[in-house]
């Protein structure tokens, strides 16, 4: 078993399973919870539960994670690389592509990981998420940063944890917001009935999420039948479905959002604007390169399907 000092990694106050997610890099939390339950992880020589909160001087002992017989292969997929150095890649993920294979899935192809697999140092990662520091939804397009080695992975995880990474999205939402600019600070947690959905919740059963929006343009389309707002949204946190949940809670859901959106407007947008997915795009990322130690700023323009919607509404 290898030993990991909580003091060294600075994860005092963090759950044991989440600590291991960051240590191993590329291994899912569910898989690591199985390791903990099987007694393959100890804290100061004693078995603990996944939810154990680490103390400053704790030492975690863990067996090497053994990957199941699933092999990821490099595939030629249409994923533009917008920035690259010796430590990181920033890619423009297309809509419809998932970021990494799922541990329980038999399918190990067609993901962002497959597209960049030859760029990642293989021996540095286990599991099916090599180099993946953060994710965006399957039906959201735009920027994703990928670590090429484990040192870069831990550096970037730290930057995201400290909220020093600047993340900006572009979204088209239903209606006109009361305030053209604003900050949404509302905790987000799992929905009670459907655990695949998220909701604005109370602090005791959710995590604080902060979204800062600014209206770029307002559209009144099709003889005033519908109105839309084109927004720039910066997120200070990275909660699951954060922008989609926050905008829906304000009464201005993302256009085309099948989970949190307005069914009538979504049907209209499909028929009249040929919008077949949610209008949400990860537009800009600013972070510090673990290799050069210099600030990196990358932008991804709206893809053609979303650009065409804006052009149509501008007529």
Q: Do residues 88 and 290 lie in contact, with contact meaning Cβ atoms separated by under 8 Å?
A: yes
Which residue of the set 17, 58, 92, 137 is catalytic?
137
Q: Sheet with 59-62: list strands edge to edge.
A: 2-5, 59-62, 41-43, 46-47
- Quote the CA–CA distance of 140 and 195 in Å, as a whole number: 20
- Quote the CA–CA distance of 125 and 157 in Å, as a whole number: 14
Q: What burial class does residue 283 get, using C-beta atoms within 10 Å of its C-beta: 0-12 exposed, 13-18 middle, 19+ buried?
A: buried
Nearest to 77 by CA among 119, 128, 113: 113
Q: Do residues 287 and 165 lie in contact, with contact meaning Cβ atoms separated by under 8 Å?
A: yes
Active-site residue, 155 included = no
Q: What is the DSSP letter of 292?
A: T
| Residues in Cβ contact with 69 at an 8 Å cutoff, skipping those fewer than 6 apart | none
Token pair belonging to 253: 């859901």
- Quote the CA–CA distance of 230 and 218 in Å, as a whole number: 6
**Residue holding tokens 């987000």?**
188
Token pair belonging to 190: 């799992």
Active site residues: 137
């Amino acid at each position: 078993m290898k030993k990991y000092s909580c003091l060294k990694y600075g994860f005092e106050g963090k759950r044991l399973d989440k600590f291991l997610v960051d240590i191993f890099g590329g291994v899912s939390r569910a898989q690591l919870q199985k390791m903990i339950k099987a007694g393959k992880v100890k804290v100061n020589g004693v078995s603990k539960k996944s939810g154990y909160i680490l103390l400053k001087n704790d030492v975690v002992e863990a067996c090497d994670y053994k990957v199941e017989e699933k092999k990821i292969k490099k595939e030629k997929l249409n994923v533009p690389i917008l920035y690259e150095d010796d430590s990181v890649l920033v890619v423009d993920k297309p809509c419809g592509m998932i970021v990494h294979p799922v541990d329980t899935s038999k399918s190990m192809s067609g993901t962002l990981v497959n597209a960049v697999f030859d760029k990642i140092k293989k021996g540095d990662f286990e599991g099916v998420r090599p180099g993946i520091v953060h994710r965006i939804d399957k039906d959201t397009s735009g920027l994703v940063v990928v670590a090429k080695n484990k040192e870069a992975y831990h550096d970037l995880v730290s930057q995201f944890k400290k909220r020093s990474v600047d993340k900006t999205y572009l979204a088209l939402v239903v209606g006109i917001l009361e305030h053209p600019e604003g900050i949404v600070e509302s905790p987000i947690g799992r929905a009670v009935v459907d655990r695949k959905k998220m909701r604005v919740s109370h602090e005791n059963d959710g995590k604080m999420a902060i979204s800062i929006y600014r209206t770029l343009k307002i559209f009144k389309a099709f003889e005033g039948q519908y109105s839309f707002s084109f927004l720039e949204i910066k997120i200070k946190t990275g909660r699951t479905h954060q922008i989609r949940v926050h905008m829906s809670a304000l009464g201005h859901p993302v256009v085309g959002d099948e989970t949190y959106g307005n069914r009538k407007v979504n049907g209209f947008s499909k028929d009249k604007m040929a919008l077949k997915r949610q209008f949400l795009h990860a537009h800009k990322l600013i972070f510090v390169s673990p290799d050069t130690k210099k600030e990196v700023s990358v932008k991804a323009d709206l893809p053609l399907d979303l650009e065409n919607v804006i052009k149509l509404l501008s007529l």
